[in-house]
Amino acid sequence: MSSRDEIFEKVRAALVDALGVDEEDVTPEATMVGDLGAESIDFLDIVFRLEKAFSIKIPRGELFPEDVLSSSEFVADGKVNAAGIAELKSRMPFADLSKFEANPSVQNFANTLTVEDMVRYVESKVAG
């Protein structure tokens, strides 16, 4: 099993290649969208690179649950409701959603995911 540092290094390499950012910009606290400039299509690219780097399978919607954010069941007036927050938490145990919970507008979600969340996600997949 890979150590956490090894996982971070490989995630960093994937993000440098996929997003064209400098290695030093990819810190654990950096947000994927706000700091690193990831766009929706980049997430597909990142999924490809992580699958290859770690020999894992990442089902669609697991890393970035776009279906929850576009569902009328979980979103009202542009904000994720309590049921939606519960759904996100159960689907994304690797992500720290506390900041998002304080202001759960859908637009805000894009800025929630950090590099650290990605590392934790991969860690859970590699361990599993």
Partner 1 sequence: MRWFWIDRFEEFVRGSRAVAIKNVSLAEEHMHDHFPGLPLMPNSLIVEGMAQTAGLLVADAIDFNRRVVLAKVAAATFHFDAVPGDTLRFDASVLDLKPAGSLTKVTSMIGDQLQGEAELFFAHLEPGEGVPTLFSPDELLTWLDHLRLFDVGKDQEGKPLLRRDW
Q: Which two tokens stand for residue 82?
A: 């309590």
Q: Which two tokens stand for residue 7?
A: 């996982």
Shortest Å, Cβ 82 to partner 1: 30
- What are the DSSP E strand ranges found in 1-128? 75-76, 79-80
Asked whether position 18 contacts partner 1 by CB under 8 A, the answer is: yes
Q: Which of residues 42-61 bind partner 1 (CB under 8 A)?
A: 42, 44-45, 48, 52, 60
Cα dihedral 47→50→55→56 (10° resolution): -50
Q: Which of residues 84-123 bind partner 1 (CB under 8 A)?
A: none
Judge contact between 71 and 84, C-beta under 8 A: yes
Shortest Å, Cβ 100 to partner 1: 25
Q: Which of 4, 6, 17, 105 binds partner 1 (CB under 8 A)?
A: 17
Asked whether position 70 contacts partner 1 by CB under 8 A, the answer is: no
Asked whether position 41 contacts partner 1 by CB under 8 A, the answer is: yes
Helix (H) or strand (E) holding 8: helix 4-19
Question: Rule CB under 8 A: which residues touch partner 1?
Answer: 17-18, 41-42, 44-45, 48, 52, 60
